[in-house]
């Protein structure tokens, strides 16, 4: 048995795969602790996992703004000291980082104490933390086909995005009823990731009357603090009443994706992996201000794999046409479903768990 500490806070895209791998390690007989941020989104996401050992660590995002940079520097020093204290007291065999702003301090602490560090990079374009911490890492997991600095290649392993067991395809009719829709509804899921997406929320609110006319219902997950819209109903061309529901947060993502026929979403690596697992055709609008524009890279790759249709945010006016085409064209959806199955096959978490077990055993 080995002891792992997993740094995975800040956003759902970092936290969810960390929990997935950690639970798999615990199931395999190891111990795992989880380092998350003090942000509310982390607290909400881990609430359903009250059996896990959770450590809330200081930290804040990097910024070139002078005031924010000073805050970052102060928090980084606190985070390094906090990491050193916890690593010494915990006697961990290996540190696994999923990125995010609170990963830097703990990872630096691991390097200073010579505790083996492993990094998981989920995006098609490696972030600043991966590029910097890769110099100290024992292993770097990256998506298939991603290129990274030559100096890191000897530690590189290709791996998919780890998903929790509860993310899976479920019976659609029962899932629609769970969210208050007709079991035979044609449902559009609008999803902006764990932080929400103001542009997609606004699009759903503004375009619902047209969707209803086309006999489409909608479920929009707005994100924390962004639920400023009211549920609506409208009559469709079929004479039935169709509705849109807005949720601030959804902790039943497998059910939500299984209920939908089509999804309108951002291009976070976690969202893409979940769409593939739940076999849900999608229209993807990458967040244009993501760090290193990684969401556009994620989306382009997913589209190349045949898993989605990409619309850039500057062209959001064309989203309705693409959604309706995907909703109505059974041939396109069937082709996309086959492609999603192939994409999902790449997200095999067992390879990561086996490799981590071997790494931890070798350092003892």
SS3 sequence of 307-363? CCEECCHHHHHHHHHHHHHHHHCHHHHHHHHHHHHHHHCCCCHHHHHHHHHHHHHHH
pLDDT value of residue 97: 94
**Domain 172-344 coded CATH 3.40.50.2000:** yes
Query: What's the rounded mean pLDDT across residues 287-296?
Result: 85
Predicted confidence (pLDDT) per residue in 141-171, tens digit: 988 767 666 555 568 888 889 998 899 999 9
CB 143 within 8 A of CB 121: yes
For residue 287, what pLDDT band results from cuts at 50, 70 and 90? very high
Q: Residues of 145-169 as b/e, b for ≥16 C-beta within 10 angstroms? A: ebebeeebeebbeebbbbbbeebee
Burial class (CB in 10 A: 0-12, 13-18, 19+), 332: middle
Instruction: Report which of residues 225 and 108 the model is more confident about.
Output: 108
For residue 101, what pLDDT band results from cuts at 50, 70 and 90? confident
For residue 108, what pLDDT band results from cuts at 50, 70 and 90? very high
CB 286 within 8 A of CB 212: no
Lowest mean pLDDT among 3-7, 133-137, 142-146: 142-146
pLDDT value of residue 10: 74
pLDDT value of residue 205: 96
pLDDT value of residue 153: 59
pLDDT at 178 over 70: yes
**Level-2 CATH architecture, domain 3-162+347-363:** 3-Layer(aba) Sandwich (3.40)
pLDDT value of residue 148: 64
Q: Do domains 3-162+347-363 and 172-344 have the same CATH topology?
A: yes
For residue 192, what pLDDT band results from cuts at 50, 70 and 90? confident
Predicted confidence (pLDDT) per residue in 194-244, tens digit: 565 889 999 999 999 999 999 999 999 998 776 779 999 999 999 999 999
Instruction: Report which of residues 195 and 294 the model is more confident about.
Output: 294
CA distance 259 to 164: 18
pLDDT value of residue 184: 96
- Is 0.85 surpassed by the pTM of this model? yes
Instruction: Report which of residues 173 and 72 the model is more confident about.
Output: 173
pLDDT at 318 over 90: yes
CA distances from 336 to 97, 146, 361 (A): 32, 23, 41
Lowest mean pLDDT among 103-117, 128-142, 272-286: 128-142
Q: Which residues contact 351 (CB under 8 A, 6 or more apart)?
A: 159
Give percent of the chain above pLDDT 90: 63
pLDDT value of residue 47: 80
Domain boundaries, the chain: 3-162+347-363, 172-344
Predicted confidence (pLDDT) per residue in 26-79, tens digit: 999 999 999 998 887 777 778 878 788 999 888 888 878 889 889 888 989 999
Query: What's the rounded mean pLDDT across residues 265-286?
Result: 96
pLDDT value of residue 130: 75
Predicted confidence (pLDDT) per residue in 247-256, tens digit: 988 989 999 9
């Amino acid at each position: 048995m080995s002891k792992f500490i997993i740094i995975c806070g800040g956003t759902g895209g970092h936290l969810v795969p960390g929990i997935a791998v950690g639970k798999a390690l615990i199931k395999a007989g190891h111990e795992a602790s989880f380092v998350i941020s003090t942000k509310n989104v982390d607290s909400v996401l881990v609430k359903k996992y009250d059996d896990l050992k959770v450590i809330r660590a200081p930290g804040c995002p990097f910024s070139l703004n002078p005031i924010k940079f000073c805050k970052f520097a102060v928090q980084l020093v606190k985070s390094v000291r906090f990491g050193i204290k916890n690593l010494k007291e915990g006697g961990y065999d290996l540190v696994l980082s999923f990125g995010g702003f609170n990963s830097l301090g703990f990872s630096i602490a691991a390097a200073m104490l010579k505790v083996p560090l492993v990094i998981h990079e989920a995006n098609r374009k490696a972030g600043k933390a991966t590029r910097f911490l890769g110099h100290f890492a024992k292993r770097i997991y990256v998506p298939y086909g991603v290129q990274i600095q030559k100096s890191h290649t000897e530690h590189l392993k290709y791996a998919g995005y780890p998903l929790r067991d509860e993310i899976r395809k479920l019976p659609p009719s029962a899932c629609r009823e769970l969210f208050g829709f007709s079991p035979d509804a044609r449902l559009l899921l609008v999803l902006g990731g764990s932080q929400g997406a103001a542009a997609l929320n606004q699009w759903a609110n503004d375009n619902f009357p047209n969707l209803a006319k086309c006999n489409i219902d909608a479920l929009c997950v707005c994100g924390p603090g962004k639920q400023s819209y009211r549920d609506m109903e409208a009559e469709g061309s079929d004479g039935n009443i169709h509705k849109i529901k807005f949720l601030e947060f959804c902790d039943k993502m497998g059910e939500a994706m299984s209920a939908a026929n089509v999804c309108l979403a951002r291009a976070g690596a976690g969202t893409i992996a979940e769409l593939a697992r739940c076999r849900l055709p999608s229209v993807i609008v990458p967040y244009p201000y993501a760090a290193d524009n990684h969401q556009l890279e994620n989306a382009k790759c997913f589209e190349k794999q045949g898993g989605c249709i990409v619309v850039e945010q500057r062209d959001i006016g064309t989203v309705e046409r693409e959604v309706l085409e995907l909703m109505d064209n059974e041939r396109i959806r069937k082709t996309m479903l086959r492609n999603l199955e192939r994409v999902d096959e790449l997200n095999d978490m067992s390879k990561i768990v086996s490799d981590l077990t071997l790494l931890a055993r070798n350092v003892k």
